[in-house]
Amino acid sequence: MAQSETYDLNKLAYKLSHKKRCGSVQLKGMRSRWGRLFILYLLTSWSRAAGNLRHRHVATTHGTVRGYFAPRPPHYAYRGVPYARPPTLYDRFKAPEPPSPWSGIFEATHRVKCPQPDGTGEENCLVVNVFSPEHAASQPVIVHFHGGGFQQGWGFHNSPRKLLEQGFVLVTFNYRIGVLGFLCLGLPDVPGNAGLKDQVAALYWVNRNIDKFGGNSSDVTVYGTGSGAVSIELLLFSGLTNNLFQKVILESGSALSPSAISYKPVLNALNFARNLGYKEQSELMLLQEYFYKVSRERTVNTSEMFLPCIESANSTNSLIVRDPREYLKSTKYQNVLMMIIYTNAEEISVIANDFDRFNEVPDSFENLLPNNIVFDSEKMRNKVASLVKDYYFDDHGITDVVFQSYIEYVNDIFMEYPILKSAANHAYNQNVVFLMKFLYKGRQGIKRNDRIPGASFGALLKYIIYNQFQDCDEIIAERLLTLWSNFIRLG
């Protein structure tokens, strides 16, 4: 049996453990002797068929896993492999706990998601999915951090055909999202940023195990989309991921974005609790006990945005203790090779879906200013709001022009400025930075809209992992794949 282990890196006391995932089958209604024989025949036939499937065993640090072969291209897929213990009960909002080793063979065929806004998913969700070429031997590794604004999403389950054809080993994974991942009360048992700490745990798992899947643990590229890119940048600042990856691809996400950090996390938690029927005082310990008891189904029923927060510097488990802008100015954080690529902001979809609302110049602009700007006084706030409004909307009366001004403003504050500012600071920190704005408007945008110029948010990832394209989209996909491949292999 594999031995249990404990990881402790700097401030994050990271312990992993695992509970054996079990399943059961109940057979009802076949009480006759012939019925039992028939069921036995079916089970025997199924067992023989399963035994004929090509599979491969890999001995991880916690136990043996079994992955299955797929032919196009030839590779093995290992889905739903635990990297941490289920974060339930009083561990619900803590950093991931140590998994126990398991005996026997773990069938790596589970398509797992953390709880989603639509009600699907489960809290026992801290798993990785590994896709490895058939003859992989010390191949470059890509670890993908999914997007979803920290409110939804999961590590994709389908094999990334094009990346496998390039010979890469790919890892996707889940981390806690929404209130389960980013409830920040500043208490020892609910310090905040549990979802980011899950990501650190997943990277440790990759570092200790990926060589056995044909990957090279010394040649790992982390690739984040949207909030996944924000996560990677925050991990760079934390100092807890040194030597866990060597290259970074940030797609359409920056830790300087107004949607990256929650500056009033306790107020967000209290508002959410009140909406669920919480009637007690705003005392933090009472809130903590309340959130322990909230059902999984109710945790996803909210319009509140739960985001990464700035934790207490006095806690041994803190990950982010300063504003991202301060980390960037200090230049004292992990130095890696970086490729930063961006499209339109995800928030553009709000405008695209409500043309009637955004065809008039706003009367008041104070509430449209970014939430991460600090003003010395209300007078200064009003003055800045007036200047910004005049810059983007001065003398506009034509509906389409007003609509485009909203798009430009939202792109500037959520994407263009944060990305360019981050890239400039990373370059100043002696990082080698490749920067590209992706403008091609093909058919792969999540929410394509002819009124909005440029590439839609999320389009880049589709060009990299999707298999079928038409006309110019195919050419663009090949060029992007070549760009990704050259960066990962050559730097």
State yes or no: pLDDT of 371 exceeds 60. Answer: yes
Could you give the CA distance from residue 414 to residue 421 in angstroms, rounded to a whole number? 12
Tokens 């403008």 appear where? Answer: 439
Of residues 330 and 65, the one with the higher pLDDT is 65
Could you give the CA distance from residue 87 to residue 194 in angstroms, rounded to a whole number? 10
Query: What six digits make up the tokens of 202?
Result: 């997943």
**Within its chain, how far is the Cα of 293 from the centroid?**
26
Q: CA dist 467 to 72, 316, 451, Å?
A: 11, 45, 28
CB 317 within 8 A of CB 13: yes
Of residues 26 and 33, the one with the higher pLDDT is 33
For the chain, what's the residue count?
A: 491
Question: Region 65-71: what's the mean pLDDT?
Answer: 97
| pLDDT score for 470 | 80
Could you give the CA distance from residue 335 to residue 463 in angstroms, rounded to a whole number? 28
Q: What letter does residue 217 receive in the DSSP assignment?
A: E
| pLDDT score for 374 | 87
Mean pLDDT, rounded, of the chain: 87
The confidence band for 46, taking pLDDT boundaries of 50, 70 and 90, is: very low
Q: Tell me the longest C-alpha to C-alpha distance in the chain.
A: 86
**Within its chain, how far is the Cα of 41 from the centroid?**
44
| pLDDT score for 397 | 59
What domains does the chain contain, in order, with CATH numbers? 6-20+51-334 (3.40.50.1820)
State yes or no: pLDDT of 355 exceeds 90. Answer: no
The confidence band for 69, taking pLDDT boundaries of 50, 70 and 90, is: very high
Query: What six digits make up the tokens of 343?
Result: 């499209």
Model pLDDT for residues 333-351, shown as the tens digit of each residue: 888 999 999 999 999 888 8
Could you give the CA distance from residue 23 to residue 20 in angstroms, rounded to a whole number? 10
CA nearest to 372, candidates 444, 324, 335, 306: 324
Percent of the chain surpassing pLDDT 90: 69
Could you give the CA distance from residue 208 to residue 86 in angstroms, rounded to a whole number? 20
Is it true that the peptide bond before 73 is cis, omega within 30 degrees of 0? yes
Question: Region 279-301: what's the mean pLDDT?
Answer: 92
pTM, two decimals, is 0.87
CA nearest to 292, candidates 94, 427, 102, 156: 94
Model pLDDT for residues 78-108, shown as the tens digit of each residue: 999 999 999 988 999 999 987 889 999 999 9
| pLDDT score for 99 | 80
Determine how β-strand 127-133 pairs with β-strand 169-173: antiparallel
Q: What letter does residue 366 receive in the DSSP assignment?
A: G
| pLDDT score for 444 | 63
Helix, strand, coil share (%) of the chain residues, nearest 5: 35, 15, 45
| pLDDT score for 491 | 85
| pLDDT score for 399 | 59
| pLDDT score for 108 | 97
Give Cβ neighbours of residue 239 (< 8 Å, ≥ 6 apart).
10, 333, 334
Could you give the CA distance from residue 81 to residue 79 in angstroms, rounded to a whole number? 6
| pLDDT score for 97 | 85
Model pLDDT for residues 452-481, shown as the tens digit of each residue: 888 889 899 999 998 888 889 999 999 999
Q: CA dist 479 to 45, 101, 162, 194, 462, Å?
A: 47, 43, 12, 37, 13
Question: Region 156-178: what's the mean pLDDT?
Answer: 97
Question: Region 400-422: what's the mean pLDDT?
Answer: 92
Name the packing angle between helices 378-393 and 399-411 (round to 10°). Answer: 130
Could you give the CA distance from residue 2 to residue 64 in angstroms, rounded to a whole number? 9
Could you give the CA distance from residue 323 to residue 256 in angstroms, rounded to a whole number? 9
Q: What letter does residue 98 receive in the DSSP assignment?
A: P
Model pLDDT for residues 275-285, shown as the tens digit of each residue: 999 998 889 99
Class of residue 403 by CB neighbours under 10 A (exposed 0-12, middle 13-18, buried 19+): buried
Q: What are phi and psi of 78, to 5 degrees?
A: -125, 110
Percent of the chain surpassing pLDDT 70: 87
Could you give the CA distance from residue 291 to residue 190 in angstroms, rounded to a whole number? 10
Question: Region 43-59: what's the mean pLDDT?
Answer: 66
| pLDDT score for 34 | 41
